[in-house]
Chain A
Amino acid sequence: MSTEYKPHPEDALSHVEEPATVYPVNPPTKSLDLLGWARSNLFGSIPNTILTLVALFLLVETLPPLINWAFISSVWSSATPDACRADGVGACWAVVQNKYRFILFGLYPYEEQWRPVVSTLLYIFAVAVSCNPRFWSRRLLVVWAVVVFGSGILMWGGILGLPYVENEKWGGLPLTLMLSVLGIALAFPLGILAALGRRSDLPVIRSVSVVYIELVRGVPLISVLFMASVMIPLFLPEGVTINKLLRAFIGIVLFTGAYIAEAVRGGLQALPRGQYEAADALGLGYWQKTRLIILPQAIRLVIPPLVNQFISMFKDTSLVFIVGLFDLLNTVKTALTDPLWRPYYVEAYVFTALIYFLFCYFMARYSQYLERHLNTGVRR
């Protein structure tokens, strides 16, 4: 009877109150001494000191001339490039002043450009709302439907007294934003489905997913765009045509979807098998299990590569110039065909780069926020 199951004799001991010891209430604070901080962080060791000195040297060499070029001896405003031609003049921001309407909106009729402005704001609003976890619910779909539909009406016009503006005239920032935001919105679910398909038990679904992912990943985006614009019409019944904007869009979605699928698959594989088994054992069906247990955890694991993909997609939309669309990068290029302003291409590209950077930086920061937010419960 030595193995008889009975309460542990030590159990009673755990209820004995220990005398209270007095501990300091707060952890010790670090003193904020600039000199001490520098000594320990910048000059802590010989290699560290060397690195610090090299970095300082580079900063002193490059920063002042850069600041001088960009801010001090630069021309901010001028109707002609003459002012920029003088000796010792720095950046010629006047090129932006003169060309920003074309850079931002491309060939869209000048008087109607308030329409892409409103459209862009609508999209930014919808993205901002969707980024806040507090608003994550079915109602978001309604917001998106309204925004997509509303901006479609605005951009095309042809009703409500708005003159009709065909696709071919769209361009610049609104085009880039629309392509990437809608592209992400469609490529994300497509990628998830492909990732799930690749792990499916059903051979047909698995093969379709594998072929799609590997085929698309095996070729550059440029060729996907080419194929989309050349080949999609071949598959359509005679008489049906879809315009090149839509074709390019489909190409981008297919391309990004394949990469997202692989990122998501990484997350699916990283989940312990016990999570699948626990969900199965509770009687959850495949879709319930996937939606409630598997995807929330898998996607959270792969936020960094996912956002990486979104960022590179945002920049890759510039490749649609290949099928003749005027995205943000192509509009700058076109604006610079003006021989008067062509010498100041650096300034025009810096301006465009800043716009790209702004959006990409936002995505990067948001991904960090999201990781922290979603990890609150999981972190040990």
Chain B
Amino acid sequence: MSDQASAKVHKPGDEAVIKLTNVNKWYGKFHVLKDINLTIRKGERVVVCGPSGSGKSTMIRCINRLEEHQAGSIVVNGTELTNDVKAIEAIRRDVGMVFQSFNLFPHLTVLENLILAPTWVKKVPRKEAIDTAMYYLGRVKIPDQASKYPGQLSGGQQQRVAIARSLCMKPDIMLFDEPTSALDPEMIKEVLDVMSELAQEGMTMVCVTHEMGFARSVADTVVFMADGSVVEKNTPHELFSNPQEERTKKFLSQIIQHH
């Protein structure tokens, strides 16, 4: 329980940094996001959960426009997502993303992976970028792997490099799409540890995950999605111990059975 207390030292502010209003999206005829309304405040740590195919990935990927929504509005850091490429690139500079499959650049060393975006996108001097990279490699506890290639690292190490790669851009917001789903149990823990630390520092985080323990100890808000809609949204304590909707209860009972 002490874990839980320390993780939530930072209280989210009142300022909304991500605002989804009546967001709709279709894949062909398939209605994948239905009238999503969601406001995320500065410093808020949000866990998104729900059954497979409910549109969690699609929603989180709409936030940095890896997917395009077709109706409604998404405002990130005060900028609305439109077809303005420059505005999108500006938003992506401030929003980091961590993928289920890591997506490190296999032809570059770990260090090169880390300094690439800062030097090319933000034009940070190389020396400074390397210092930042080494700092974050230390933070994710693999400073000795800088000159290796991603293919030479374990899955857990690769995912921590991927987190460090995003952090090197000094983002305001971090998006995680099932960052631990491709990992073995021991590696899950090392990645969740890094994420918890990040959460403690007040980073705004949106995290799709099935790790309910993580949600309980770290999240301010849990969003439950099913069939393309946000079914329920509450503090982890309320949502897990006192779910209001039938759909939520059913999902939670299935999850608990499995753990």
**Interface residues of A, Cβ cutoff 8 Å to B:** 2-8, 10-11, 14, 272, 274-275, 277-285, 288, 292-293, 296-297, 300, 374, 376-380
Contacts and interface: CB of A to CB of B under 8 A. Distances in A.
Q: Nearest 10 A-B pairs (CB), nearest first?
A: A5-B213, A377-B149, A278-B103, A274-B103, A283-B92, A282-B117, A283-B93, A281-B97, A3-B212, A380-B151
A131 B152 CA distance: 27
B71 interface: no
Contacts of A377: 106-109, 149, 151
A3 B107 contact: no
Nearest to B188: A8
Contacts of B90: 283
Nearest to A8: B189
A1 to B, nearest CB: 8
A154 to B, nearest CB: 40
A378 B120 contact: no
Given A3-B256, A377-B151, A379-B151, A283 B105 contact: no
Interface in B93-109: 93, 95-97, 99, 101-109
Nearest to B186: A8
A5 B117 contact: no
Given A5-B216, A297-B106, A377-B106, A282 B99 contact: no
B89 A5 contact: no
Interface residues of B, number: 45
Contacts of B223: none
Contact of B89 (A6, A283, A380): A283
A16 to B, nearest CB: 15
Contacts of B151: 377-380
Given A272-B103, A284-B116, A378-B107, 12 more contacts: A5-B3, A5-B196, A8-B186, A272-B101, A281-B97, A282-B121, A282-B169, A283-B121, A285-B121, A297-B106, A377-B149, A380-B151
Contacts of B132: none
B189 A274 contact: no
A278 B217 contact: no
B192 A2 contact: no
A14 B213 CA distance: 23
Given A5-B211, A282-B169, A11 B189 contact: yes
A6 B3 contact: yes
B58 interface: no
Contact of A3 (B96, B149, B196, B259): B259
Contacts of B28: none
B213 A6 contact: yes
A2 B109 CA distance: 40
A4 B213 CA distance: 4
14 contacts: A3-B256, A4-B217, A5-B192, A5-B217, A5-B218, A7-B189, A14-B186, A281-B97, A282-B92, A282-B117, A282-B166, A285-B89, A293-B105, A296-B107
Contacts of B108: 377
Contacts of A7: 189
Contacts of B97: 278, 281
Interface in B63-115: 64, 66, 89-90, 92-93, 95-97, 99, 101-109
A11 B185 CA distance: 11
A52 B95 CA distance: 65
A293 B121 CA distance: 13
Contact of B121 (A2, A277, A284): A284
Contacts of B259: 2-3
In this complex, which of B101, B106, B192, B216 has the most chain A Cβ atoms within 10 angstroms of its Cβ?
Answer: B106
Nearest to A5: B213
B89 A378 contact: no
B160 interface: no
B66 A281 contact: yes
B217 A277 contact: no
Contacts of A296: 107
Nearest to B66: A277
A297 B185 CA distance: 31
A7 B213 CA distance: 11
Contacts of B166: 281-282
A297 B169 CA distance: 23
A70 B169 CA distance: 68
B104 A283 contact: no
Contact of B107 (A4, A278, A297, A380): A297
Interface string B168-194: 010000000000000001100100100
Interface string B124-158: 00000000000000000000000001011000000
A3 B210 CA distance: 11
Given A283-B92, A378-B151, A288 B121 contact: yes
Contacts of A374: 107
